[in-house]
């Protein structure tokens, strides 16, 4: 039949009927039908109530048909049956739904229901054999259309069992079987991975480099789903996607505007292209969270000023920027009103590039409307708008394998046509891409297509809202008892649009929080966000990126009398198998991705409660964070968790790490060389490794990026500045903290640590 070879799952149908097995006439007819389906090897899952049916629909994602009794739970309005059908349609538009009717006629069924179902079964008029045949046919039609183009072709090819003479040389995995280590590898991953690991010489699947065949079809499918004119699949991460875009758009000594809060790959792209970066400074708040670039900095006059102030823009260099890169959303989940950014920045530059590595889902939930690069629909007249690029790490917050990434393009002013763009694409692509990664890009698009996109993203948002409200409630309960607890970085109060009344966050209507962007927008002057009088609506906090805040930092940016550094919480959670996404001085970031479950965040709440208890009890570190105590017995052998919190907080106070972080990231260093000039010196060995003391006034050869916050303190070619200046001042504070508190050394890309001293590669004088 029309099912796909290589796809192993069974045919499966959900039958929702409350009278099954009863001796009533409809009960007997349904029982006979179920028996017929089973005789056809169709697995039948049954549900006797609306609640059971909805649970099955939520958990059994491999249902291939649903049959619903119109008389379910009785009642003249057939409410239960209608709800079940609505639940199916909220998740999928094409899953076949059969309405089981035993009496009455179509004329009595409301039009909304008629539209939502695919077919009707008149239990007393048709034989169970006839009905069973129709269900089978519907299932097979569904199976044939379920899979997106490239995954379908791959599964089909892997199921054909040809002898291959092409690479990869493991030949469908058989080479591994010749050695015990190879066999262990083969058995660990399973045969399908190897059978579908193919070479570009398999013509049936098309080519990633030519964008042909099923691979090209999958790219066009993703373009439709993500709202792009063109989509390119990249199998080496958004790191590569960023480089491809810049290589296609910018050449040597041209000016590219660049969010200072950019990923390392953008710095690399600046080096590769020979561009002259002019940085746009993002804002920062009291927690050290990086905010948006303020709209004032994007006005044409401000851009002209930034370029004029850039020491690398010498005579002979065209002062008009050709490209701009903006990180959207930021790591901490702050997303721009892209329409507004386009309006502002579009006056200065014709190509806007949004790095949406953490934000691939934005198109699929109305809460993010207009806050992503591909907003609106393609194809309409875009000539007056900038050409738009987006890079998305499919693997980060959609469901895909590591390294899967998309480039989406919407042509506007100064477009780059496909032939030209593909030169840059091929320059960074392997001629042997991994087909499972390509297929996962295809699958991620299919999972977001139709109603499942809003349904899946809506679930993540609802779980994040529930977690945030739980935390806020616990916080209020502990406060009433006179003790601290964690809070989430989020609005204190929510305004009800209808009544205009303020409600504390924990008591706000969860549906409003899940659906109304206004609840998450940074309103000017609200004290919670700490970004001051930012233009209303310009920036929004993404509810699924949750920063859990530890005590110690005031909203005025001043340290409190006591506090608990977030790094300690991170270490504690790590010991319990909970891995935090990112840690700043007083906050830990948790991502509520599509993979979130209630159990997962319930465990996190328990661990936070456990930490709170262990701090109050000053539990010995040997028990609270055993690995830490074991690694530093002389320091931590007899220390308790609260003792360590106190010592860490005191060290932060003494070395002023938070204050100096602000100062360090508050200035733009002076560039001496462009990134490529600095890199040429590195390659030629024209460099030396210097301590912080020796670095004063020197030019760095590699970027210096402290994590957190993960934005470059120094880019290659920039001057480290005065000995007592903000850049070296901040690095010295981190060095001193690392020496004082073993086991909590900062992670700084570009810094080597030797005998406790930081060393950085600088250009020789």
Ligand X SMILES: *Cc1c(COP(=O)(O)O)cnc(C)c1O
Angular region, 654: left φ>0, alpha ψ -120 to 50, beta rest: alpha
Closer by beta carbon to ligand X, 277 or else 726: 277
**C-alpha to C-alpha distance for 406 and 390, rounded to whole angstroms:** 8
Q: How far is the CB of 268 from ligand X (least distance, A)?
A: 11
Q: Between β-strands 705-707 and 587-591, what pairing exists: parallel, antiparallel or unpaired?
A: unpaired
Evaluate the omega torsion of the peptide bond into residue 329 and state whether it is cis, within 30 degrees of 0: yes
Q: How far is the CB of 240 from ligand X (least distance, A)?
A: 7
Closer by beta carbon to ligand X, 238 or else 365: 238
Q: How buried is residue 682: exposed, middle or buried, by Cβ count under 10 Å (0-12/13-18/19+)?
A: middle
**C-alpha to C-alpha distance for 164 and 251, rounded to whole angstroms:** 43
Contact 64, 10 (CB under 8 A): no
Q: How far is the CB of 191 from ligand X (least distance, A)?
A: 28
- Per-residue tokens: 91: 């998740």
Beta-strand ranges (E) seen in 178-272 are 230-234, 255-259
Q: How far is the CB of 347 from ligand X (least distance, A)?
A: 25
- Give Cβ neighbours of residue 345 (< 8 Å, ≥ 6 apart): 257, 298, 303, 324, 326, 352, 386
Closer by beta carbon to ligand X, 232 or else 485: 232
Q: How far is the CB of 528 from ligand X (least distance, A)?
A: 24
Contact 652, 658 (CB under 8 A): yes
Closer by beta carbon to ligand X, 211 or else 396: 396
Element (H, E) at 763: strand 757-763
Element (H, E) at 707: strand 705-707
The DSSP symbol for 103 reads S
Closer by beta carbon to ligand X, 237 or else 669: 237
SS3 375: coil
Q: How far is the CB of 748 from ligand X (least distance, A)?
A: 17
Q: Contact residues for ligand X (CB under 6 A)?
A: 237-239, 242, 263, 265, 327, 355, 357-358, 393, 405
**C-alpha to C-alpha distance for 644 and 741, rounded to whole angstroms:** 9
Q: How far is the CB of 698 from ligand X (least distance, A)?
A: 29
Q: How far is the CB of 566 from ligand X (least distance, A)?
A: 20
Closer by beta carbon to ligand X, 239 or else 441: 239
Q: How far is the CB of 331 from ligand X (least distance, A)?
A: 6
Closer by beta carbon to ligand X, 119 or else 581: 581
Q: Between β-strands 539-541 and 282-284, what pairing exists: parallel, antiparallel or unpaired?
A: unpaired
Q: Between β-strands 255-259 and 230-234, what pairing exists: parallel, antiparallel or unpaired?
A: unpaired
Helical packing angle, 641-655 and 726-740, nearest 10°: 150
Sign, CA torsion 377/381/386/389: positive
Q: How far is the CB of 367 from ligand X (least distance, A)?
A: 21
**C-alpha to C-alpha distance for 69 and 114, rounded to whole angstroms:** 14
**C-alpha to C-alpha distance for 582 and 707, rounded to whole angstroms:** 8
Q: How far is the CB of 448 from ligand X (least distance, A)?
A: 18
Which is nearest to 668 in space by CA: 727, 734, 590, 617?
727
Q: How far is the CB of 355 from ligand X (least distance, A)?
A: 5
Closer by beta carbon to ligand X, 469 or else 593: 593
- Per-residue tokens: 758: 């930081």
Looking up tokens 């259309």 gives: 145
Contact 150, 217 (CB under 8 A): yes
- Per-residue tokens: 725: 């200046």
Q: How far is the CB of 401 from ligand X (least distance, A)?
A: 11
Contact 413, 385 (CB under 8 A): yes
Closer by beta carbon to ligand X, 441 or else 587: 441
User: Closest CB to ligand X belongs to which residue?
Assistant: 237
> How far does CA 253 lie from the centroid of its chain?
33
**C-alpha to C-alpha distance for 259 and 328, rounded to whole angstroms:** 10
**C-alpha to C-alpha distance for 411 and 7, rounded to whole angstroms:** 38
Which is nearest to 593 in space by CA: 389, 436, 375, 447?
447
Q: How far is the CB of 567 from ligand X (least distance, A)?
A: 21
Closer by beta carbon to ligand X, 9 or else 707: 707
Closer by beta carbon to ligand X, 127 or else 430: 430
Which is nearest to 324 in space by CA: 336, 340, 342?
342
Closer by beta carbon to ligand X, 240 or else 550: 240
Q: How far is the CB of 718 from ligand X (least distance, A)?
A: 20
Closer by beta carbon to ligand X, 407 or else 704: 407
Q: How far is the CB of 541 from ligand X (least distance, A)?
A: 17
Q: Between β-strands 65-69 and 705-707, what pairing exists: parallel, antiparallel or unpaired?
A: unpaired
Give 476-485 contacts, CB < 8 A, sequence gap 24+: 476/504, 476/506, 478/612, 483/612, 483/616, 484/551, 484/612, 485/608, 485/612
Nearest 10 degrees: Cα torsion 138, 143, 145, 147: 160
Q: How far is the CB of 242 from ligand X (least distance, A)?
A: 6
Closer by beta carbon to ligand X, 271 or else 327: 327
Contact 362, 372 (CB under 8 A): yes
Looking up tokens 């010196």 gives: 681
Q: At 394, give phi and psi (nearest 5°).
A: -55, -35
Closer by beta carbon to ligand X, 96 or else 712: 712
Closer by beta carbon to ligand X, 331 or else 601: 331
Closer by beta carbon to ligand X, 428 or else 653: 428
């Amino acid at each position: 039949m029309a099912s796909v070879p290589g796809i192993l799952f069974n045919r499966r149908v959900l039958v929702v009927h409350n009278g099954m097995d009863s001796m009533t006439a409809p009960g007997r007819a349904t029982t006979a039908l179920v028996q017929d389906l089973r005789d056809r090897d169709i697995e039948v899952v049954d549900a006797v109530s609306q609640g059971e049916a909805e649970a099955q629909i939520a958990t059994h994602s491999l249902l291939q048909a649903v049959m619903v009794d119109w008389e379910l739970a009785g009642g003249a309005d057939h409410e239960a049956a209608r709800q079940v059908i609505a639940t199916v349609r909220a998740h999928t538009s094409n899953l076949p739904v059969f309405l089981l009717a035993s009496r009455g006629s179509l004329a009595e069924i409301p039009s909304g229901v008629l539209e939502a179902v695919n077919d009707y079964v008149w239990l007393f008029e048709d034989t169970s054999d006839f009905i069973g045949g129709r269900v089978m046919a519907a299932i097979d039609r569904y199976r044939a259309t379920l899979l997106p183009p490239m995954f379908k072709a791959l599964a089909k090819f892997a199921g054909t069992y040809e002898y291959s003479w092409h690479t990869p040389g493991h030949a469908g995995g058989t080479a591994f079987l010749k050695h015990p280590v190879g066999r262990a590898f083969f058995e660990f991953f399973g045969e399908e991975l190897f059978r579908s690991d193919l070479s570009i010489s398999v013509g049936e699947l098309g080519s990633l480099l030519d964008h042909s065949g099923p691979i090209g079809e999958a790219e066009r499918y993703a373009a439709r789903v993500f709202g792009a004119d063109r989509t390119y699949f990249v199998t080496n991460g958004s790191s590569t996607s960023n480089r491809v875009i810049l290589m296609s758009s910018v050449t040597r000594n041209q000016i590219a505007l660049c969010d200072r809060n950019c990923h390392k790959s953008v710095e690399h792209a600046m080096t590769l292209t020979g561009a002259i970066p002019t940085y746009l400074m993002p804002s920062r708040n009291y927690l050290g969270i990086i905010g948006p670039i303020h709209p004032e900095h994007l006005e044409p006059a401000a851009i002209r000023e930034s370029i004029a102030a850039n020491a690398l823009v010498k005579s002979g260099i065209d002062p008009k920027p050709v490209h701009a890169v903006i990180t959207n959303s930021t790591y901490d989940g702050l997303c721009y009103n892209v329409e507004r950014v386009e309006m502002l920045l579009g006056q200065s530059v014709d190509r806007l590039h949004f790095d949406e590595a953490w934000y691939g889902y934005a198109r699929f939930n109305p809460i993010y409307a207009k806050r992503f690069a591909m907003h609106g629909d393609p194809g309409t007249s875009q000539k007056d708008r900038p050409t738009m690029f987006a890079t998305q790490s499919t693997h980060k917050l959609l469901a895909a394998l590591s390294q899967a990434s998309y480039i989406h393009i919407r042509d506007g002013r100064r477009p780059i046509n496909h032939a030209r763009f593909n030169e840059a694409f091929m320059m960074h692509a392997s001629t042997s891409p991994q087909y499972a990664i390509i297929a996962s890009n295809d699958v991620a698009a299919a999972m977001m297509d139709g109603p499942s996109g809003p349904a899946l993203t809506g679930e993540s948002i609802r779980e994040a809202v529930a977690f945030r409200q739980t935390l806020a409630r616990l916080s209020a309960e502990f406060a009433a008892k006179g003790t601290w607890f964690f809070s989430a970085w989020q609005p204190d109060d929510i305004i009800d649009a209808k009544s205009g009344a303020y409600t504390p966050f924990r008591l706000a209507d969860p549906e409003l929080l899940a659906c109304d962007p206004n609840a998450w927008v940074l309103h000017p002057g609200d004290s919670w966000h700490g970004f001051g009088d930012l233009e209303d609506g310009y920036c929004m906090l993404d509810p699924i990126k949750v920063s859990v805040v530890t005590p110690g930092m005031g909203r005025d940016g001043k340290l409190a009398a006591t506090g608990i550094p977030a790094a300690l919480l991170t270490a504690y959670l790590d010991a319990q198998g909970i891995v935090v996404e990112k840690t700043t001085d007083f906050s830990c970031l948790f991502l509520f991705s599509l993979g979130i479950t209630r159990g997962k965040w319930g465990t996190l709440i328990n661990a936070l409660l456990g930490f709170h208890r262990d701090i109050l009890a000053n539990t010995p570190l040997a028990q609270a964070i055993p690995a830490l105590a074991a690694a530093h017995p002389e320091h931590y052998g007899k220390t308790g968790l609260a003792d360590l919190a106190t010592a860490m907080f005191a060290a932060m106070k003494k070395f002023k790490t938070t204050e100096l972080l602000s100062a360090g990231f508050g200035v733009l260093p002076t560039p001496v060389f462009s990134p490529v000039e600095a890199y040429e010196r590195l390659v030629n060995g024209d460099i030396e490794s210097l301590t912080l003391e020796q670095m004063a006034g020197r030019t760095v050869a590699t970027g210096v990026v402290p994590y957190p916050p993960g934005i470059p303190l120094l880019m290659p070619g920039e001057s480290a500045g005065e000995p007592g200046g903000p850049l070296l001042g901040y690095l010295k504070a981190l060095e001193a903290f690392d020496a004082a508190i073993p086991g909590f050394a900062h992670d700084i890309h570009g810094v080597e640590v030797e005998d406790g001293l930081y060393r950085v590669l600088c250009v020789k004088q």
